Structure 1
Amino acid sequence: MRFRDFHRNIQIRIIESFISRFVGSMIFPFMAIYLAYYFGAKVAGLLLIFNVLVGIGVNFIGGYFADQFGRRKIMLFAEVLRFMAFLTMMICNSPWLESPTVTFLMMTVNSVCWALAGPANQAMLIDVSTPNQRKLMYSIMYWANNLSIAIGGIIGAFLYQDYLFELFIVLSVVGAIVVFMVAVLIQESYVPDDKLSYTATQHVLRIFSSYKRVLQDRLFVLFVIGGVLIMSMEFQLTNYIGIRLSDEMPKQQFLFWEIDGVKMMGFLRSENTIMVALLALFVTRISGRFKDRPMLVISCLLFTIGYAVISYSNSIWLLLIMMIILTIGEVFRVPVEQSYMAAIPPDDARSAYMAFNGLKFNLGMLIASITITISSYLSSIVMSIIITVIGLLGTWIYFVITPELDERKAKAELKQVS
């Protein structure tokens, strides 16, 4: 299996996703700093929470519409809207005009576009891929996304402060390229059977009906809950763990550098990103030799053990070793997890399932945010125990449901072959 063997939609999505995230990572990770500068830290925090909540709401609408009208139409609408938002942000941060208020509104529009297009993008990948292709497909996307975010973030750190207008120009150009790719190169992968037209009220009722169906799928709901618990640990590094290291870790000599808690968090993030970029594709070749269930459970255990130690230790060498262990768990876990996810939804509700699955990110962030609040009342050892229990609970859920997941995956593969 090679890149050229994938469906053209998959090839285009991988390329488009890489360039979009590469340029976006030069700007959006630093927009919290931008908002705090213009509105103050407290207001900036509320604005970012509002952004997340809007994204959650629109995510459900995007999932329904992608099943109702087809994937490509929703993707194209979202990308055109996103391009207009980028263009407006560029104008509002130009030498001739400065408007942080409009910039924030366009950030919200960008969140709306991500939420609209996300379920359609994920559903389209499943539509045009075979079960045998999915591990490699998700591994390549995971690798490309991490690499683009890492490189973009490094470049953005140097350019953001002095060249924000120029970065928005590049972002707008990339937005136009993505619109062209979706409009001209992407093929529709799903044509709904239902050709009836509905009123706005009927659409609202059908949205609720669609997600009622998703919530009645017990296996899928448990799969998402397990994923939320595991993913919440990943967000701890830049939330509770980052704050703990900053407050508790004493300065230590490491090779040629004197390292404090803030620098250590940077080291750990860089180590994780570099290792993912180096291991992701290599792991795909190895993972094919093992069964999905033990690989998913063992990788989650490694992930949990790594974060359990990092959430408490202040030893540089131990932190670096644990990051290696949890990253190995991460690169084995992600393709298997996504491959299972692709086998669960029925064809006519795929985007709705993808939208609900997208909650893993938001709810994982919510758990990580809650741990920051409770950490002011609890000791580091108690916080480490809580984080460990969260990871073990997510691993246990996966362990319990994977036999049923394997059955559903086998049925999905048989159906696709037939």
Structure 2
Amino acid sequence: MRFRDFHKNIKIRIIESFISRFIGSMIFPFMSIYLAVHFGAKIAGILLLINVFVGIGITFVGGYFGDQFGRKNMMLVAEILRLVAFTTMMVCNSPWFESASITFAMMTVNSISWGLAGPANQAMLIDVSTPPQRKLMYSITYWANNLSIAIGGIIGAFLFKDYLFQLFMGLSVSAMVVVILVAFFIEESHVPTASNLKPHQHVLQLFATYKSVLSDKLFVMFTIAGVLILSLEFQLTNYIGIRLSEEMETQQFLLWEIDGVKTMGFLRSENTIMVVLLMLFITRIPHKLQDKSVLVLSCLMFTVGYGALAYSNNLMILFVMMAVLTVGEVFRVPVEQSYMASIPPDDARSSYMAFNGLKFNLSMLIASVTVTLGAILPSVVMAWMILGIGLVGTLIYHLITPALDKRRELAEMKQAV
């Protein structure tokens, strides 16, 4: 299985996503600074929260609409909105005109676009891929996303302050390219049955759809396990980062003397570099383990690694454990997403993907709670707590993998017919 064997929709989405995330990573990670400068830190925090909650709400609408009106239609509407938002942001941060208020409004429009397009994008990838292709597809997607974010973030750190107008110009051009790709090159992968429902009937059906999604106990348990495991990843920039900055003494590392804050930076760089390098070879590494064993063992490595990072101040242990958890991460992600792709029924994939998108927000919530608890409890207790969160998620995966394998076998049989 090779990249050229994928459906053209997959090839276009991977290339387009790399370009969009590359340019977007030069801007959006720094927009909190932009808002704080123009509105103050307190107001900036409230504005960012509004943005997040708008995105969450629209994601459910986008998931439902993607099943009701087709994936491509939702993607095209979202990308046109995004083009309008980025172009307006460019104009509002030009040498001739500046408006932070309109810029924030367009950030919200961008969140709406992500909410509308996200579930349809993910559902389309499942629509046009076969089960044997998905691990490689998700591996390449994960690799491309990490590489684009890493490079874009570094470049943005140097350019954001003095070249914001030019960055928004590049973002607008990339958005225009995406609109053209979606409009003229992407193929529709889901043609829904004709519906004559009135607006209020769509509202009722939306709630009925997500009630049906929540009644799928296997999917709910899979999502809960995913939230618990993903929350470990956010600990590095939340509780673990704060703990290292407060507890870790300055130590010698090669030619540098580094403190806790710099250590966190090195650990993040180690993770990013290893993910980018390992993902190039991970699908070619031969092993006899079944997917269910790979998922459980990789989650266990991920959990033990973050448990150690939550307690140790020894540089060697920290770097070794980061390597261990990163190996677990690169094995886990393709298998986890491949299982996820086999769970939803064909006519409700966007809705399932919308609900699955909550994993990010719920994981961030858990990470935020641990920051508060970390101010009260000693680090040894927090380390055991973080380890426990990961072990519970791993245990849930262990318990549901037989049912996941059955669900995937049924999906493969149905696709073969």
TM-score (norm 1): 0.98
**SS of aligned partner of 1:281:** coil
**Structure 1 counterpart of 2:59:** 59
**Structure 2 counterpart of 1:204:** 203
Q: Is 1:245 aligned with 2:252?
A: no
**SS of aligned partner of 1:4:** helix
Q: 1:319 & 1:142 partners in 2: Cα distance?
A: 24
Task: Supply the AA of the counterpart residue of 2:314.
Answer: S
**Structure 2 counterpart of 1:226:** 225
**SS of aligned partner of 2:237:** coil
Cα distance per residue 1:335-394 (max 9 Å; x no partner): 000000000000010110010111111111111111112221111111111111110010
Describe the shift of the 1:287–1:350 C-alpha distance in structure 2 as closer, same or farther (beyond 3 A).
farther
Report the alpha carbon displacement of residue 115 of structure 1 after superposing the two structures with TM.
1.1
Report the alpha carbon displacement of residue 240 of structure 1 after superposing the two structures with TM.
1.1
**Which ranges in structure 1 are unaligned for 5 or more consecutive residues?**
none
Please, which moves more after superposition, 300-309 or 32-41? Answer: 32-41
Q: 2:380 & 2:196 partners in 1: Cα distance?
A: 58
CA contact (8 A) 1:297 1:399 kept: yes
**Structure 1 counterpart of 2:269:** 270
**Which ranges in structure 2 are unaligned for 5 or more consecutive residues?**
none
**Structure 1 counterpart of 2:114:** 114
Q: Is 1:400 aligned with 2:417?
A: no
Q: 1:34 & 1:375 partners in 2: Cα distance?
A: 29
Q: 2:264 & 2:36 partners in 1: Cα distance?
A: 22
Q: 1:363 & 1:11 partners in 2: Cα distance?
A: 30
Q: Is 1:33 aligned with 2:53?
A: no
Q: 2:388 & 2:45 partners in 1: Cα distance?
A: 28
**Structure 2 counterpart of 1:412:** 411
Q: Is 1:359 aligned with 2:328?
A: no
Q: 2:286 & 2:395 partners in 1: Cα distance?
A: 21
**SS of aligned partner of 1:191:** coil
Task: Supply the AA of the counterpart residue of 1:131.
Answer: P
Task: Supply the AA of the counterpart residue of 2:234.
Answer: F
Q: 1:77 & 1:356 partners in 2: Cα distance?
A: 21
**Structure 2 counterpart of 1:138:** 138
Q: 2:271 & 2:242 partners in 1: Cα distance?
A: 18
Report the alpha carbon displacement of residue 122 of structure 1 after superposing the two structures with TM.
0.3
Q: 1:49 & 1:393 partners in 2: Cα distance?
A: 29
Cα distance per residue 1:83-138 (max 9 Å; x no partner): 10001111111111121111111111111111110000000000000001000000
**SS of aligned partner of 1:258:** strand
Task: Supply the AA of the counterpart residue of 1:225.
Answer: I
**SS of aligned partner of 1:197:** coil
Task: Supply the AA of the counterpart residue of 1:2.
Answer: R
Describe the shift of the 1:48–1:191 C-alpha distance in structure 2 as closer, same or farther (beyond 3 A).
same
Report the alpha carbon displacement of residue 309 of structure 1 after superposing the two structures with TM.
0.5
Q: Is 1:3 aligned with 2:36?
A: no
Q: 1:308 & 1:111 partners in 2: Cα distance?
A: 33
**SS of aligned partner of 2:280:** helix
TM-score (norm 2): 0.99
CA contact (8 A) 1:268 1:320 kept: yes
Equivalences for 1:12-411 in 2 at 5 Å? 12-193=12-193, 195-286=194-285, 289-411=288-410
Q: 1:406 & 1:117 partners in 2: Cα distance?
A: 29
Please, which moves more after superposition, 276-285 or 74-83? Answer: 276-285
Report the alpha carbon displacement of residue 286 of structure 1 after superposing the two structures with TM.
2.3
Q: 1:298 & 1:76 partners in 2: Cα distance?
A: 40
Report the alpha carbon displacement of residue 284 of structure 1 after superposing the two structures with TM.
1.3
Q: 2:294 & 2:394 partners in 1: Cα distance?
A: 11
CA contact (8 A) 1:287 1:332 kept: no
Runs of 4+ in structure 1 over 2 Å off: 286-290
> Matched residues, percent identical?
69
Task: Supply the AA of the counterpart residue of 1:374.
Answer: L
Task: Supply the AA of the counterpart residue of 1:21.
Answer: R
CA contact (8 A) 1:223 1:401 kept: yes
Task: Supply the AA of the counterpart residue of 1:366.
Answer: L
Task: Supply the AA of the counterpart residue of 2:364.
Answer: M
Describe the shift of the 1:200–1:288 C-alpha distance in structure 2 as closer, same or farther (beyond 3 A).
farther
Task: Supply the AA of the counterpart residue of 1:69.
Answer: F
Q: 1:40 & 1:384 partners in 2: Cα distance?
A: 34
Q: CA RMSD in A?
A: 1.0
Q: 2:132 & 2:94 partners in 1: Cα distance?
A: 48
Task: Supply the AA of the counterpart residue of 2:125.
Answer: L
Describe the shift of the 1:176–1:288 C-alpha distance in structure 2 as closer, same or farther (beyond 3 A).
farther
**SS of aligned partner of 1:98:** coil
Q: 1:379 & 1:47 partners in 2: Cα distance?
A: 33
Q: 1:97 & 1:371 partners in 2: Cα distance?
A: 42
Q: 1:326 & 1:283 partners in 2: Cα distance?
A: 15
**SS of aligned partner of 2:252:** strand
CA contact (8 A) 1:32 1:48 kept: yes
**SS of aligned partner of 1:240:** helix
How many residues get paired? 417
**SS of aligned partner of 2:285:** helix
Report the alpha carbon displacement of residue 290 of structure 1 after superposing the two structures with TM.
2.5
Describe the shift of the 1:380–1:78 C-alpha distance in structure 2 as closer, same or farther (beyond 3 A).
same
Task: Supply the AA of the counterpart residue of 1:281.
Answer: L
Report the alpha carbon displacement of residue 287 of structure 1 after superposing the two structures with TM.
6.2
Q: 2:86 & 2:195 partners in 1: Cα distance?
A: 35
Task: Supply the AA of the counterpart residue of 1:325.
Answer: V
Report the alpha carbon displacement of residue 25 of structure 1 after superposing the two structures with TM.
0.4
CA contact (8 A) 1:86 1:168 kept: yes
**SS of aligned partner of 2:257:** strand
